[in-house]
Amino acid sequence: MSKVKNNTNKCNDLKSKFQEGNRYNNFGNVLVRMHIQGFRCHKNTVIEIQNPITAFCGLNGVGKSTLIQLAATAYIGQSQQETYYISRFINIHKFDPHPFTNDAKIEYKYWQENLALKQLTISRKQDGGWQGYNRRLKRKVLYIGVSSYLPKVETSDFIIRYPAEIELVSSISVEQHIKEWTCKILGKNYESIKTHTFKFKKRKNQINSVQHNQVNYSEPHMGYGEARSQYLIRVIESLPDKSLILIEEPEISLHPSAQYQFGCYLVDVTLRKGHQIFLTTHSESLLNALPSQSRKYIEKIPSGIRCIDGLPPSQAHSLMSDGYLKALVILVEDEKTKSVAKTILTEIIRRVDPIFLSTVGIYPAGDCNTVKNTVRTLKDTNIKVAGVLDADQQAILKENIFTLPGKLAPEKELFNNHAVQAHIQKEYQLNLDDFQVSYLVDTDHHQWFEKLAQKLSVEELALVTEASKVYAQNLHENERDSLVKQLKEAC
């Protein structure tokens, strides 16, 4: 719980540091917008950057890789060898005669000092080349594709082929915070981690070795996920501050908790070093670690490609499952897993039709406007979706946006319900009215159950579930049946 809370605080810090007045000092001349026209499946795609970390998720073949490839071409590198061009990623050849249109172009917007925006367009020339490169801003850029790191054994690396001819140049223990993050991501308590620089003829390279349970081994003897994650950390930590980093699917070969922790690492290193990071991913666990402003779901629609901003990770996961996970996606207010609205709705559906409950997914999605906007955005997809707002909001029945029973916010509904009050008095010998007067004055209602759980020495989620069951049981039958009927019709 403390780890999640700590990462949440870091996500909030990241959001604050990316505010317009702070952005340039903290992150430099970052990309804030890309408008891509005529590249592969991107006929007319606009990407607005709302956080220093941008994670593109979605089904295969929707152009996620194209987005980060074109982001890599937005800057002049620190040398010619470190500068990326469109031809590095997208070329015409025999089997792909039309990877872009004749009038293809990409417009970049950069954030500069004094809240100024710079715009640059790279476009197709009549002679077949590209124009606009020379006006790019300067920045360290690193693209880390899937093939940037391959297992040493499978690639027959010269450390494997010519071990006797390898010359060791240096061995350095990694910094403590790098060791801690490596241990946290992989769930291993390494006694030591070292980076070795070695030379073979005129070539230099680096390799990591670890000590775990008194056994020393290096990358050729590591699993792919273990070795690649150490490589990613080593490379990212070596970059100068305020670099642009582009990573293809960093979660490859990592187990779910490692995927989540790697997302936490990206938040941490972005805060420490002021980087801007773009990545592609299919991992719900990794998305869970990132700020909501980072998440961008990319999908194909008849007119081209659409970007859905801020979709909750569970919803992104449902969409990437092509709708097969649940028959109906129900969005409720709040972003917390321990959403009171979600728990109340769950118990209402359970009372009316427990089989129907097993076929739906209920997900906290944010405030009322986020719920409404997400329902509207998804209405043209194959996902069956409905929204259930708090009782103090207005339903929009024709858009499958409904409300919970009552007139108040969910926490207030439970605290002021006579049946719930009687239950708490009977089971815990506590008068809820007295508790509100004594302990909840000037306390945000979203924290009421947290305070009550502390008072009663019980788990907050268990207490919310208990109260919601009592509430649902004592609701008028028509109120329960009417809401469930609406949801079934939406399905």
Domain boundaries, given as residue ranges, for the chain: 2-138+243-252+271-301, 152-222, 326-491
Quote the pLDDT of residue 323. 57
Amino acid residing at 253? S
Query: What is the CATH architecture of 2-138+243-252+271-301?
Result: 3-Layer(aba) Sandwich (3.40)
Query: Which residues fall within 8 angstroms of residue 411, CB to CB, at 6 or more apart?
Result: 340, 445, 446, 448, 449
Question: Which residue has better confidence, 162 or 149?
Answer: 149
Across residues 40-66, what is the average pLDDT? 96
Quote the pLDDT of residue 3. 55
Q: How confident is residue 355, by pLDDT bands cut at 50, 70 and 90?
A: confident
Closest CA to 481 of 330, 356, 336: 356
Quote the pLDDT of residue 5. 62
Identify whether the C-beta of residue 106 lies closer than 8 Å to the C-beta of residue 90: no
Closest CA to 247 of 64, 482, 433, 24: 64
Using DSSP, state whether 58 is helix, strand or coil: coil
Residue written as token pair 């015409």: 92
Tokens encoding 466: 């208990």
Tell me 433's DSSP state: H
Q: How confident is residue 1, by pLDDT bands cut at 50, 70 and 90?
A: very low
Residue 457: Cβ-neighbour burial (10 angstroms; 0-12, 13-18, 19+): exposed
Query: Which residues fall within 8 angstroms of residue 267, CB to CB, at 6 or more apart?
Result: 7, 10, 11, 14, 53, 289, 290, 291
Could you give the residue ranges of the DSSP H alpha helices within 383-447?
Answer: 410-415, 418-428, 432-439
CB atoms within 10 A of CB 367: 14
90 pLDDT above the threshold of 80: yes
Identify whether the C-beta of residue 451 lies closer than 8 Å to the C-beta of residue 443: yes
Query: Which residues fall within 8 angstroms of residue 42, CB to CB, at 6 or more apart?
Result: 36, 63, 66, 67, 304, 305
283 pLDDT above the threshold of 70: yes
Quote the pLDDT of residue 324. 64
b/e for 401-411, b at 16 or more Cβ within 10 A?
Answer: bbbbbbebbbb
Across residues 331-338, what is the average pLDDT? 80
Quote the pLDDT of residue 43. 96
Across residues 140-157, what is the average pLDDT? 85
Residue written as token pair 């197709």: 124
Quote the pLDDT of residue 419. 97
Q: Which helix (H) or strand (E) holds 368?
A: helix 368-378
230 pLDDT above the threshold of 50: yes
Share of the chain above pLDDT 90, in %: 76
363 pLDDT above the threshold of 80: yes
Q: Which of 65-69, 361-365, 368-372, 486-490 is most confident?
A: 65-69
392 pLDDT above the threshold of 90: yes
pLDDT digits (tens, 9 = 90+) for 92-111: 888 999 999 999 999 999 99
485 pLDDT above the threshold of 50: yes
Identify whether the C-beta of residue 384 lies closer than 8 Å to the C-beta of residue 325: no
